[in-house]
Amino acid sequence: MTHETRLERGRRALAEIDGEAGARVVDALADIAPDFATYLLEFPFGDIYARPGLGLREREIATIAALAAMGNAAPQLKVHLEAGLNVGLTRAEIVEILMQIAVYAGFPAALNGLFAAREASTSEVYGRNPAVPWSETATGCSARLPSTAGAT
């Protein structure tokens, strides 16, 4: 496997997964650490994402869960939340992924992930329609506190 092959495969994978957002991340590294941009393209995208064992959709599920559980990677989480939507995840599935991590990573990690999802999907940067609220994707019961009006 040649250096160019890994790099080109990484560029293709990044473009397919993240679109323009991925290119912006790589471009932002050009004046700081161009070698790091190359490593980013070659290893995670050129080697790992290109493996045949999982599809891009499943890889983004794992990535979203891992980044949200870390609790210290909000910018990367937002990029991968958008990537998840780009590769076919629905908003409802993303909410379920983030709810699932509450069991293993705690409520703070899940809450931060849910708030990051709301911010990422309504960002004009990604061209999403902020008029569609996340609540339309929610399933299950709606938690509402009982009214205290008239209580004595």
Of 49-63, 115-129, 130-144, highest mean pLDDT: 49-63
Closest by CA position to 130, among listed 139, 142, 120 = 120
Rounded Cα gap, residues 47 and 69, in angstroms: 23
pLDDT score of 19: 87
pLDDT score of 20: 86
Q: Is domain 55-140 in CATH 1.20.1290.10, yes or no?
A: yes
90 — pLDDT class (breaks 50, 70, 90): very high
Q: Which residue has the higher pLDDT, 149 or 52?
A: 52
At 93-127, the pLDDT tens digits run 999 999 999 999 999 999 999 999 998 866 544 44
The residue extents of the domains of the chain are 1-51, 55-140
Whether the pLDDT of residue 138 is over 70: the answer is no
